[in-house]
């Protein structure tokens, strides 16, 4: 994997946002999703080199509550908090304009950031983006039920971490769960408070999708149990410049499960 430079920025509220980057050229910000142990580098390990080799400046932030960023307790983890702290850090990092690549919660942040700062976003690539329906509706989906675990407690262990990663993918992709990935995410999960999940609050941005005129590419796994594939039609019907691809026998992690195809389609879209 490409050598990653690291930086940390103090943002509003006194929080620290950590990020890594590699390559040079037009900026592409990869925004990871939620879940125990998530971080920018672990979620996009199979994509970094392809984008760097294609001539892009790859930026991998850790959201507040994740990776090496601050993990405050006793607060609500709102979409505005994720978006505002990330935007602050990116501007301090010297990023004036970027294409945004977001998975799940990361996709929701990409949408919110584009609505808040349309001049900042260039193109959007989203893999099963969240927050396009009422938050309560997501809790009825089978993926959420499977994520119940001992996270945040003394009984949380490596095997439980491995199981949670497996829930994100179709069974055909189980071979992609390496010991390195499990250990990397477990190390992060061991430092996270429960609040990062139990006090997460997201709005329904579905009614606002039509405000986004930027070019959009949405990817979905047909077997996604966290964000239903039918939500791709919300973008196709509301936004003026959208293309969408659905992969069979694929879960919530298109960028991992179908990395080669995802990389090729995305790089062509950004070029």
**Residue 16 covered by a domain:** yes
Give the burial string for 239-264 (b: 16+ CB within 10 Å, else e): beebeeebbeebbbbbbbbbbeebbe
**Residue 270 covered by a domain:** no
Q: What confidence score (pLDDT) does residue 2 get? A: 80
Domain count, the chain: 1
Q: What confidence score (pLDDT) does residue 151 get? A: 87
Q: What confidence score (pLDDT) does residue 205 get? A: 98
Q: What confidence score (pLDDT) does residue 144 get? A: 85
**Residue 179 covered by a domain:** yes
Q: What confidence score (pLDDT) does residue 240 get? A: 96
How far from 206 is each of 77, 91, 108, 247, CA to CA, in Å?
20, 27, 10, 22
Per DSSP (E only), the strands in 178-222 are: 200-201, 216-221
Rounded CA-CA distance 78/199 in Å is 8
Other beta carbons within 10 Å of 141: 14
CA proximity to 44, closest of 61, 30, 26 = 30
Residue 20 DSSP class:
E
Q: pTM value?
A: 0.97
Backbone dihedral region of 37: left (phi > 0), alpha (psi from -120 to 50 degrees) or beta? left
The CATH number assigned to the domain holding 186 equals 3.40.50.1820
Other beta carbons within 10 Å of 168: 27
**Residue 133 covered by a domain:** yes
Q: What confidence score (pLDDT) does residue 146 get? A: 83
Residue-range definition of the domain harbouring residue 122: 5-264
Rounded CA-CA distance 77/168 in Å is 21
Task: Return the structure tokens found at 11.
Answer: 């943002």
Could you tell me the sign of the dihedral formed by the alpha carbons of 171, 167, 83, 206, in that order?
positive
Tens place of pLDDT for every residue, the chain, 271 residues? Answer: 788 999 999 999 999 999 999 999 999 999 999 999 999 999 999 999 999 999 999 999 999 999 999 999 999 999 999 999 999 999 999 999 999 999 999 999 999 999 999 999 999 999 999 999 999 999 899 888 888 888 878 889 999 999 999 999 999 999 999 999 999 999 999 999 999 999 999 999 999 999 999 999 999 999 999 999 999 999 999 999 999 999 999 999 999 999 999 999 999 999 9
**Residue 269 covered by a domain:** no
The residue annotated as part of the active site, out of 18, 32, 170, 252, is: 252
Give 180's strand partners: none
The radius of gyration computed from the CA coordinates of the chain, to the nearest angstrom, equals 17
**Residue 125 covered by a domain:** yes
Q: What confidence score (pLDDT) does residue 145 get? A: 82
Residue that the structure tokens 């080669």 belong to? 260
**Catalytic-residue membership of 252:** yes
**Residue 271 covered by a domain:** no
């Amino acid at each position: 994997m490409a050598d990653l430079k690291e930086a940390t920025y103090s943002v509003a509220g006194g929080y620290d946002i950590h990020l890594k980057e590699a390559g040079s050229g037009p900026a592409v910000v990869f925004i990871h999703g939620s879940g125990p142990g998530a971080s920018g580098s672990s979620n996009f390990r199979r994509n970094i080199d392809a984008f760097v080799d294609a001539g892009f400046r790859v930026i991998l932030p850790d959201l507040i509550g994740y990776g090496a960023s601050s993990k405050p307790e006793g607060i609500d983890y709102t979409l505005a908090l994720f978006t505002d702290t990330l935007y602050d850090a990116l501007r301090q990092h010297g990023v004036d304009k970027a294409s945004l690549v977001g998975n799940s919660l990361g996709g929701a942040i990409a949408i919110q950031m584009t609505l808040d700062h349309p001049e900042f976003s260039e193109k959007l690539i989203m893999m099963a983006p969240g927050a396009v329906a009422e938050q309560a509706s997501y809790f009825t989906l089978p993926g959420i039920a499977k994520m119940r675990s001992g996270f945040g407690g003394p009984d949380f262990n490596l095997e439980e971490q491995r199981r949670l990663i497996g829930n994100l993918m179709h069974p055909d992709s189980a071979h992609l769960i390496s010991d390195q990935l499990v250990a990397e995410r477990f190390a992060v999960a061991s430092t996270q408070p429960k609040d990062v999940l139990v006090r997460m609050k997201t709005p329904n941005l579905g009614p606002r999708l039509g405000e986004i005129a930027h070019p959009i590419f949405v990817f979905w796994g047909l077997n996604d149990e966290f964000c239903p594939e039918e939500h791709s039609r919300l973008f196709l019907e509301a936004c003026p410049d959208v293309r969408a691809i659905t992969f069979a026998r694929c879960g919530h992690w298109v960028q991992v499960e179908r990395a080669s195809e995802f990389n090729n389609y995305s790089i062509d879209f950004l070029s």
